[in-house]
Amino acid sequence: MKEFYLLLRGELLKVKRTFIFPLVFLTPLLAGGLSLINLYLRYDYLKGLEANADLNSWQILLIQHHFLWFLFLPLVVTVFASTIFYLEYKSNSWKNTLSLPVAKSKVYLAKWLLVYMLSLAMIGINGTVIVLVGKFLSFPETTDWPLIFQYTLNQLMAISSLISFQCFFSALIKNTGISLTIGFVGVASSLFFAQSKRLAELIPYAHMLYALPDPTIDNGTVLSYGLLFALFFLLSGIICFTKKEIA
């Protein structure tokens, strides 16, 4: 266990002086800032829409915010996954890393966990930013904590499949451009995939769209697929990485 902790700490040190940490903070702040401007300018209009008649202000904020965040989070997570593996390729340090007396599977798992932790931090900051935006706009209703917690939990489930998927490609393909492009094309097409429930279940890029709590949509099934795919690609990644020859 201590060995794994040291590996994880080593991974954190590798990204310490990169732009990754500022991205963790700036991405939710940027998305939150845009939602703030959006609702500041259009709150009355949105509140007056017939489609929003039964929604409270927090639900409206979350819907508006989600249609930015479902692109922001997966795109940035794609960059994280690619970068963390790219760092080894860039400095030709795979040989050194893998010649350490630790199992390859632990090395892979530490990298996966780091991406997950960074995503977790982003999701946490995003939740905080949403609450602050609502407070700033002085919504008449009290903070809808169950909604915010449900949204946070859904995101944690939805993003896990994408993390496993992107880590799998980033470890397998030496060329970072390819793993990044696969991710970017996937995220750009996620809205299209999400239109079909069957496709949405099977394609990790679409899972994030189902993170928005909505009683009229069956989020649970898609998000369960998210966890299933996360586990599947995590195990596939570990197996492929363990067998991979590092020259």
Partner 1 sequence: MKDIMEIEVLKLKHSKILWIVTLAPLFMVIQGTTNLLRYYDLFTGQGQNVWEQLYTQSMILYVSVLLPVLISVVMTFLARLENANQSWKQYLSLPVERGKIYGAKFILGCGLILLNILVLILGLVGAGKIIGVSGAIPLKVLLQPVAAFVAAMPIMALLYVLSLKFAHIVMPLGVGIGLSLPAMVVANTKYWLIYPWTYPIMAALGSDFDVFSKGSLVYLISLILLVLIFALGYLEFIRRDIV
Which residues of this protein are in contact with partner 1, per CB under 8 A?
Answer: 18-20, 22-23, 26-27, 30-31, 34, 37-38, 68, 71-72, 75-76, 79, 82-83, 86, 89-90, 175-178, 180-181, 184-185, 187-189, 191-192, 195
Residue 114 or 234 having the CB closest to partner 1? 114
Separation CA 11–CA 8 (nearest Å): 5
Q: How far is the CB of 132 from partner 1 (least distance, A)?
A: 18
Q: How far is the CB of 72 from partner 1 (least distance, A)?
A: 6
Separation CA 204–CA 145 (nearest Å): 27
Instruction: For residue 148, give the nearest of 130, 172, 167, 166 by alpha carbon.
Output: 130
Q: How far is the CB of 240 from partner 1 (least distance, A)?
A: 19
Q: How far is the CB of 27 from partner 1 (least distance, A)?
A: 7
Residue 195 or 224 having the CB closest to partner 1? 195
Separation CA 133–CA 153 (nearest Å): 20
Separation CA 222–CA 146 (nearest Å): 20
Residue 126 or 234 having the CB closest to partner 1? 126
Q: DSSP 3-state assignment of 110?
A: helix
CA dist 118 → 53, 75, 87, 152, 168 (Å): 37, 13, 16, 14, 17
CA dist 2 → 78, 98, 102, 105, 246 (Å): 28, 18, 11, 15, 25
Q: How far is the CB of 100 from partner 1 (least distance, A)?
A: 23
Residue 89 or 232 having the CB closest to partner 1? 89
Residue 185 or 239 having the CB closest to partner 1? 185
